[in-house]
């Protein structure tokens, strides 16, 4: 490979020195350490939060049985006669979240199809900042919007609607998570390669047929993930329900009436003056852990769906 | 290039009495302001294979994509001239012609296999579904027939309802051919269908094109002259957006007229 004349020639300009290689290895190692530390930090913070939640909740469950917690139908931690039925709060949370999804899923799907497949670039560039504006509005503003504007408006045509109710906060949360859902699912749709669209048009598909039969299946995992992450957000949403849904903990069956959600309860109880370590104080962590488990399950579901339906182009 | 003015040109074709399936006349094409085709003329003989060859960037794909109005998907593109489809006598690029209608009659197979994110069966059936064919028995029968024509049936008949993405590249390309065949188009366009495939898969596709000529009219773009020689009946040579030479394949390769063609096929450029 190396000829004789080469070996005797003057220093090869492309010769790599030992010192250079050493320096390279050192830089590489340092960078890897920094990146590793940054990654560990985020994991440590999460682990710390989970640790506090679980350890405080453990104190709670030392005094209240898990069976009572899951089956009792009343939630009265500060009353004389105490009940700890978390399903009251869970039902409120699930009710508002379900209403939010009923609003956000169809609207989000239609909007993202429109933006990704139909809108002219100028229209898309005009609509996206408006959506981002919505997600920039403080949630407390949405809360009072629900309580002081939407509820009175709806009361004019929905007779049984209480001043505090689950319907209106649910709808408003749906509007709040819409930009997030649209942004994630539109990204997923736009990531579908153009070669698939061309294949569909070449077969004679219309634009709508291409969107529904090719683009949506192609972006399925991303779209599903968008909905489930949107659901997680709806479940964790606090201000709107704290302001507009009422604070009465009961099993929620009628969306026209008010009921407390997990987050609304946590706000309410934290604002009060609670002795550290009292059972009422510990309910914060039990409720927080429940919320954590619910969103965690949704995230696992999203992760699983993503893996199952991920398409490799 | 052609003497006749009415649709059925045949006078100056090297072989006579051939039926034309389509005819390109004075076709110019613009990507915005940049002209990619310059007054191209080309006859497409019925149930024969016409190969488009020429150096990379000379406008082969651009010409092919005029046939099914693919350019309409992107803004700013413009056609001048005509492509007449026979026997319908439809000017494909004419004003007021619905591109969707054109695409319902003309199939296309792309350079890179592009199966839909669906099952093998649904891929082949998709062209039938959107034409309103719903009867299960007819769809099943047509899917099987197309997969057999594409020489893929034996390999996939036990996993029709699995994802098309589980197939190899060569199988995916044959699936795309079956998908194009299923609605029984009069004309099928192939844009370098083997350039992403290994030699064995390439040989299979070439064999397939040879079979398809019995029932379909085919226009195939290739940058591989040997391939053009092996599978086509007519060869058209393009250079910088112009059509320089068109002849029966044998004559094209043995006695090219244009000096540029001679240079190209003797490998002095391109
Ligand atoms: N979308 C496009 N916009 C602008 N110019 C294009 C576009 N596609 C192709 N071209 C130009 O048109 C010419 C012909 O391209 P193409 O038909 O793809 O060549 P070929 O298929 O023969 O390699 C090239 O000069 C290319 O740069
Ligand atoms: Mg090309």
Query: Under an 8 A CB cutoff, do B179 and A201 touch?
Result: no
Strand order in the sheet with B90-91: B34-45, B20-31, B77-85, B90-91
Cβ within 8 Å of residue A274, ≥6 positions away: A280, A281
Question: Is the CB of B77 inside a 6 Å radius of any atom of ligand 1?
Answer: no
pLDDT attached to residue A40: 95
A244 in Cβ contact with A260 (< 8 Å): no
Judged by a CB distance cut-off of 8 A, whether residue A119 touches chain B is no
Q: Do B114 and A203 touch (CB under 8 A)?
A: no
Q: Give B206-247 pLDDT, tens digit per residue.
A: 998 998 988 999 999 998 889 999 999 999 999 999 999 999
Q: Which atom of ligand 1 is nearest to the CA of B59?
A: 17
Q: Tell me whether A189 touches chain B (CB under 8 Å).
A: no
- A122 in reach of chain B (CB within 8 A): no
Nearest CA distance, A179 vs chain B (angstrom): 27
More confident residue, A129 or B109: B109
User: Count of CB atoms within 10 A of residue B46's CB?
Assistant: 15
- Contact between B130 and A311 using a beta-carbon 8 Å cutoff: no
Mutation for testing the A interface, residue in B114, B182, B184 having most A CBs under 10 Å: B114
User: Could you give the domains of chain B?
Assistant: 2-265 (3.40.50.300)
Q: Which residue of A has its CA nearest to B117?
A: A218
A222 touches chain B (CB under 8 A): no
Range with lowest mean pLDDT among A5-14, A270-279, B25-34, B86-95: A5-14
CA of B84 to the centre of ligand 2 (A): 23
Instruction: Report the pLDDT value the prediction gives residue A14, as an integer from 0 to 100.
Output: 83
A48 touches chain B (CB under 8 A): no
Taking alpha carbons only, the member of B184, B190, B191, B7 closest to residue B91 is: B7
* A206 contact residues in B (CB cutoff 8 A): 100, 130
Cβ-contact A260, A18 below 8 angstroms: no
CA distance linking residue B125 with residue B143, whole number of Å? 6
Nearest to B103 among A203, A214, A311 (CB): A203
Dist CA B256 CA B246 (whole Å): 9
Task: Give the residue among A203, A207, A206, A200 at the shortest CA–CA distance from B104.
Answer: A203
Asked whether the beta carbons of residue B70 and residue A209 sit closer than 8 angstroms, the reply is no
Minimum CA–CA partner of B113 in chain A? A195
With beta carbons less than 8 A apart as the criterion, state whether A197 and A209 touch.
Answer: no
Return the axis-axis angle of helices A87-113 and A167-190, rounded to nearest 10°.
Answer: 40
Across A242-271, b (16+ Cβ under 10 Å) vs e yields bbbbbbebbbbeebebbbbbbbbbbbebee
Contacts of A203 in chain B (CB under 8 A): 103, 107, 126-127, 130, 179-180, 183
Residue B191 parent element (H or E)? strand B187-191
- The burial class, CB within 10 Å (0-12 / 13-18 / 19+), for B35 is middle
| pLDDT tens for each residue of B130-180 | 999 999 999 999 999 999 999 999 999 999 999 999 999 999 999 999 999
- Among B31, B70, B193, B222, say which to mutate for ligand 1: greatest number of ligand atoms within 8 Å of CB: B31
Bridge partners, residue A179, by sequence: none
For residue A12, give the DSSP letter: P
Nearest CA in chain A to B100: A204
Q: What is the ipTM of this complex?
A: 0.89
Averaged pLDDT for residues B22-36: 96
Q: Per DSSP, what are the bridge partners of residue B106?
A: B187
Calpha distance B252→B258 (Å, rounded): 10
Closest chain A residue by Cα to residue B104? A204
Residue of B nearest to A195 (CA): B114
pLDDT at A154: 96
Q: What is the average pLDDT score of chain B? A: 90
Distance CA B44, CA B234 (A): 9
| Protein residue with least CA distance to atom 1, ligand 1 | B31
Minimal CA separation from B170 to chain A, in Å: 15
Question: In whole angstroms, how far apart are CA A312 and each of A112, A207, B125, B174?
Answer: 22, 23, 22, 19
CB A291 within 8 A of CB A94: no
- Does the distance separating the beta carbons of B107 and A197 come in below 8 Å? no
Q: Residue B143 and residue B109: Cα distance in Å, rounded?
A: 17
| Residue A116 phi, psi (nearest 5) | -80, -35
pTM, 2 dp: 0.83
Please name the member of B104, B112, B117 whose beta carbon is closest to the beta carbon of A195. B112
Contact A214 B116 (CB under 8 A): yes
CB pairs under 8 A between A and B: 66
Q: What is the pLDDT of residue B8?
A: 34
Residue B33 in contact with ligand 1 by CB distance below 6 A? no
| pLDDT profile of chain A (313 residues), mean per 10 | 52 83 94 95 94 94 94 89 93 95 94 93 89 90 95 94 95 95 92 95 96 93 88 92 90 91 92 85 94 91 80 59
Residue A128: the pLDDT is: 86
Looking at the complex, report in whole angstroms how far the Cα of residue A115 sits from the nearest Cα belonging to chain B: 16
- How many other β-carbons are positioned within 10 Å of the β-carbon of residue B144? 16
Selected residues 271-290 of chain A with any CB under 8 Å from a CB in chain B: none
Handedness of CA A157, A161, A162, A163 (dihedral sign): negative
Phi/psi zone of residue A137: left (φ > 0), alpha (ψ -120 to 50 degrees), beta?
beta
> CA nearest B51: which of B174, B201, B230?
B230
Nearest atom in ligand 1 to the alpha carbon of residue B64 is 17
d(CA A96, CA B167): 44
Q: Is B58 in the pocket of ligand 1 (CB under 6 A)?
A: yes
């Amino acid at each position: 490979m190396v000829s004789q004349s080469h070996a005797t020639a003057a220093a090869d300009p492309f010769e790599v020195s030992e010192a250079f290689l050493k320096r390279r290895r050192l830089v590489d190692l340092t960078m890897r350490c920094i990146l590793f530390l940054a990654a560990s930090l985020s994991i440590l913070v999460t682990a710390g939060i989970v640790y506090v939640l679980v350890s405080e909740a453990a104190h709670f469950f030392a005094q209240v049985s898990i069976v009572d917690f899951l089956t009792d139908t009343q939630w009265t931690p500060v009353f004389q006669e105490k009940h700890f039925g978390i399903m009251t709060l869970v039902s409120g949370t699930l009710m508002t979240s379900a209403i939010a999804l009923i609003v956000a899923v169809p609207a989000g799907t239609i909007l993202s199809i429109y933006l990704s497949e139909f809108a002219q670039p100028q229209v898309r560039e005009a609509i996206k900042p408006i959506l981002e504006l919505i997600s920039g509005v403080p949630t407390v503003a949405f809360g009072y919007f629900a309580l002081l504007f939407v509820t009175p408006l709806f009361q004019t045509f929905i007779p049984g609607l209480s001043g505090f109710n689950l319907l209106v906060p649910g709808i408003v949360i749906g509007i709040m998570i819409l930009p997030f859902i649209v942004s994630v699912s539109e990204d997923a749709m736009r990531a579908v390669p153009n070669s698939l669209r061309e294949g569909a048009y070449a077969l004679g598909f219309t634009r709508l047929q291409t969107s529904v039969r090719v683009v949506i299946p192609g972006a399925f995992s991303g779209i599903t993930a968008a909905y489930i992450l949107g659901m997680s957000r709806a479940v964790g949403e606090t201000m709107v329900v704290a302001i507009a849904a009422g604070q009465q903990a009961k099993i929620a069956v009628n969306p026209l009436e008010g009921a407390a959600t997990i987050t609304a309860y946590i706000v309410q109880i934290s604002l009060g003056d609670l002795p550290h370590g009292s059972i009422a104080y510990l309910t914060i962590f039990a409720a927080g852990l429940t919320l954590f488990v619910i969103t965690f399950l949704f995230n696992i579901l999203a992760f699983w769906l993503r893996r199952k339906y991920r398409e490799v182009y | 290039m052609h003497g006749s003015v009415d649709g059925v040109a045949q006078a100056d074709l090297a072989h006579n009495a051939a039926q034309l399936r389509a005819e390109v006349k004075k076709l110019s094409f613009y990507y915005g302001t940049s002209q990619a085709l310059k007054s191209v003329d080309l006859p497409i003989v019925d149930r024969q294979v016409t190969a488009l060859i020429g150096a990379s960037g000379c406008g082969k794909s651009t010409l092919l994509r005029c046939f099914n109005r693919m350019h309409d998907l992107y803004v700013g593109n413009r056609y001048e001239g005509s492509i007449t489809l026979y026997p319908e006598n439809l000017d494909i690029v004419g004003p007021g012609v619905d591109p969707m209608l054109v695409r319902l009659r003309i199939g296309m197979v792309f350079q890179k296999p592009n199966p839909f994110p669906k099952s093998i069966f649904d891929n082949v059936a998709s062209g039938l579904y959107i034409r309103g064919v719903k009867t299960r028995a007819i769809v099943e029968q047509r899917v099987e027939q197309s997969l057999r024509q594409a020489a893929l049936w034996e390999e996939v008949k036990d996993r029709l309802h699995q994802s098309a993405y589980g197939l190899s590249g060569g199988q995916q390309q044959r699936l795309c051919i079956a998908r194009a065949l299923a609605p029984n188009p009069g004309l099928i366009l192939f844009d370098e269908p083997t350039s992403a495939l290994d030699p064995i898969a390439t040989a299979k596709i070439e064999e397939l094109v040879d079979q398809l000529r019995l029932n379909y009219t085919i226009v195939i773009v290739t940058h591989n002259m040997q391939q053009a020689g092996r599978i086509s009946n007519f060869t058209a040579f393009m250079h910088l957006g112009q059509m320089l030479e068109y002849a029966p394949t044998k004559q094209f390769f043995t006695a090219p007229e244009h000096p540029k063609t001679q240079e190209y096929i003797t490998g002095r450029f391109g």
